[in-house]
């Protein structure tokens, strides 16, 4: 989150911008020296680093963020030159008015940083979306930026008409995402409800991540906010595995999935009590995910004797791998496109709620009575998946693992600690898994299915080293090939955004009349 900051400026609506310049040095005297500028120059570069990070994390309005990043890069060159050639620029540093101009320039860069942070994330773009002022604020920021650059005699390129066209395209895509991808009705109230839900889940998720699960007060709160489900369900003879069974509600005969969970991971040391408390705290938040029909519905946690169960909706046709194996005749391209779009819609919604799915693969895509796909086996932490998945360790996820992450897991990358930090919470790794899953849907077989299970890890790792990619059959549509290729791109900065994957598949689906 950006810190609250305050600026006195007649040119900005304070409800949109609440910024503050960090404490500055006293107003300089006439004996101004170069050293007085040092804190401002450092602050400028610190803001720049944050802008770069925000751009790399941008999920929406990426091109708008890119345009503003270009402006920063232009300014960075000028400031670097100013800083490096202090002796030659002594005249600049000696002028009192330049100090105030530079301070104003820092304020402008802070505004740009905050704007990028807001418009690049769906949970923060709401105020601009309803005010319909993304373009006007962008233009105002650019005008202020160019004014500062001109006042400081820094060279820069002026805004072009092409930039305005890019902004209009980005704004249109944002509307298409909400209406066509997330399926939100075209009413103001529906859109507000959609944004409010994302904001609520994001806020609750952030609070959960900041808490100590072992804190007694935090644990005690679970009984109030997420009580156990008791005596509401009847057993059936339908058992999908040792830990998964179908039960029926007494009141309305609706069907539910009961998945037994326990602390069965050797890498974790939480006892059974702490396990069920953490699961319940997370389920309390995950139950709020109501605006996507491609996300499994959570209902709570139930206890029977000493066993605890995660209760979700029942998915009649099992997982995606089972479905295309048992109902192969149904898997024409119309169905494949529908499944692909549904999966990407669900992942997009999770991403916008700041929930990362750490194990995207066909076993975690479930099919309901209506032959619709839903994403399952995710939580607010990796521990949630560890506790609730069907087996304690599954080498199958190696088939879908991003190369960098795979090499890190095997200890083959240099500077492992740094790389783990870089990729552990990175959406980019998700895109690779999405690409592998899309490949599977196209080919109706798992990635690297030609490799024997006993040698899978070693063989896939060797393929990764050689930058090998599974080929797609000739009959696979070009747009499908393009998306898979972009998902698996070795240059992470050029990976396709989940928004663009959705928009491409949405247009592709229209060609089938659905």
Per-residue pLDDT of the chain (514 residues; tens, 9 = 90+): 444 333 333 343 433 333 444 445 454 444 456 788 999 999 999 999 999 999 988 989 999 999 999 999 999 999 999 999 988 888 888 888 999 999 999 999 999 999 999 999 998 999 999 999 999 999 999 999 999 999 999 987 665 668 889 999 999 999 999 999 999 999 999 999 999 999 999 999 988 888 776 677 777 788 888 999 987 899 999 999 889 999 999 988 999 999 998 654 444 444 566 788 889 999 999 999 988 999 999 999 999 888 899 999 999 999 999 999 999 999 999 999 999 999 999 999 999 999 989 889 999 999 999 999 999 999 887 667 666 665 444 677 888 988 877 766 555 444 444 544 454 446 678 888 999 999 999 999 999 998 887 788 788 888 887 888 899 999 999 999 999 999 987 666 667 888 899 999 999 999 887 6
List the one residue out of 205, 500, 487, 195 whose CA is nearest residue 354: 205
Question: In angstroms, rounded to a whole number, what is the distance separating the alpha carbons of residues 462 and 129?
Answer: 47
Q: For the domain made up of 318-409+422-513, give the CATH fold.
A: Transferase(Phosphotransferase); domain 1 (1.10.510)
Q: For the domain made up of 34-176, give the CATH fold.
A: I/LWEQ domain (1.20.1410)
Q: Is 456 left (phi over 0), alpha (psi -120 to 50) or beta?
A: alpha
3-state secondary structure of 19: strand
List the one residue out of 351, 505, 490, 363 whose CA is nearest residue 430: 351
34-176 against 318-409+422-513: fold identical: no
3-state secondary structure of 453: helix
Q: Which two tokens stand for residue 470?
A: 């599974």
Is the separation of the CB atoms in 249 and 258 below 8 Å? no
Q: Which is it for the CA torsion 185, 186, 190, 191, positive or negative?
A: positive
Q: Which two tokens stand for residue 205?
A: 């998720």
- Computed on alpha carbons and rounded to an integer, the radius of gyration of the chain in Å comes to 26
For 168, other C-beta atoms within 10 Å of its C-beta total 12
**CATH: 3.40.50.720, 3.30.200.20, 3.40.1160.10, 3.30.160.110. Which one for 226-262+274-314?**
3.30.200.20
Is the separation of the CB atoms in 298 and 425 below 8 Å? no
3-state secondary structure of 444: coil
Residue-range domain boundaries for the chain: 34-176, 183-216, 226-262+274-314, 318-409+422-513
pTM (two decimals): 0.84
- Cα–Cα–Cα angle for 440, 445, 446, rounded to 5 degrees: 70
3-state secondary structure of 445: coil
């Amino acid at each position: 989150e950006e810190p609250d900051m305050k600026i006195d400026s007649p040119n900005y609506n304070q409800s949109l911008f609440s910024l503050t310049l960090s404490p500055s040095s006293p107003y300089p005297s006439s004996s101004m020296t170069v050293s007085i500028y040092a804190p401002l120059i450092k602050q400028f570069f610190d803001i720049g680093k944050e802008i770069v990070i925000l751009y790399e994390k941008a999920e929406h309005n990426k091109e708008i963020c890119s345009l503003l990043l270009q402006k920063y890069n232009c300014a960075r060159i000028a400031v670097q030159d100013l800083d490096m050639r202090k002796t030659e620029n002594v005249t600049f540093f000696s002028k009192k008015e330049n100090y105030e101009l530079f301070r104003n320039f820092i304020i402008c860069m802070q505004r740009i940083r905050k704007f990028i942070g807001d418009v690049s994330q769906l949970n923060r773009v709401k105020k601009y979306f309803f005010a319909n002022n993304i373009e006007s604020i962008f233009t105002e920021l650019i005008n202020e930026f160019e004014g500062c650059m001109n006042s400081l005699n820094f060279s820069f390129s002026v805004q072009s008409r092409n930039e305005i066209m890019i902004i209009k395209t980005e704004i249109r895509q944002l509307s298409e995402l909400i209406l066509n991808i997330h399926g939100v009705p075209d009413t103001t109230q529906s859109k507000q409800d959609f944004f409010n839900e994302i904001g609520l889940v994001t806020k609750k998720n952030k609070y959960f991540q900041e808490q100590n699960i072992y804190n007694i007060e935090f644990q005690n709160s679970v009984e109030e906010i997420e009580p156990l489900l008791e005596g509401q369900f009847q057993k059936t003879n339908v058992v999908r595995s040792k830990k998964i069974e179908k039960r029926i509600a007494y009141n309305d005969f609706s069907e539910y999935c009961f998945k037994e969970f326990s602390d069965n991971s050797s890498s974790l040391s939480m006892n059974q009590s702490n396990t069920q408390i953490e699961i319940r705290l997370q389920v309390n938040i995950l139950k709020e995910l109501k605006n996507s029909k491609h996300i499994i519905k959570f209902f709570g946690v139930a206890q029977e004797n000493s066993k605890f169960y995660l209760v979700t909706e029942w998915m009649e046709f099992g997982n995606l791998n089972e479905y295309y194996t048992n109902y192969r005749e149904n898997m024409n391209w119309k169905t494949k496109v529908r499944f692909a779009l549904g999966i990407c819609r669900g992942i997009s919604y999770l991403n916008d709620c700041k929930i990362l799915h750490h194990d995207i693969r066909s076993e975690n895509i479930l099919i309901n009575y209506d032959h619709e796909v839903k994403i399952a086996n995710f939580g607010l932490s990796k521990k949630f998946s560890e506790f609730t998945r069907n087996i304690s360790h599954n080498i199958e996820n190696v088939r879908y693992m991003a190369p960098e992450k795979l090499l890190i897991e095997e200890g083959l990358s240099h500077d492992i600690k740094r790389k783990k930090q870089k990729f552990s919470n990175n959406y980019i790794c998700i895109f690779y898994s999405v690409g592998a899953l899309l490949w599977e849907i196209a080919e109706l077989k798992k990635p690297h299915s030609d490799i024997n299970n006993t040698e899978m890890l070693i063989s896939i790792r060797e393929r990764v080293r050689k930058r090998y990619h599974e080929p797609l059959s000739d009959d696979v549509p070009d747009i499908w090939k393009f998306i898979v290729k972009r998902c698996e791109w070795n240059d992470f900065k050029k990976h396709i955004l989940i928004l663009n994957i959705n928009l491409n598949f949405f247009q592709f689906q229209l060609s089938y009349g659905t």
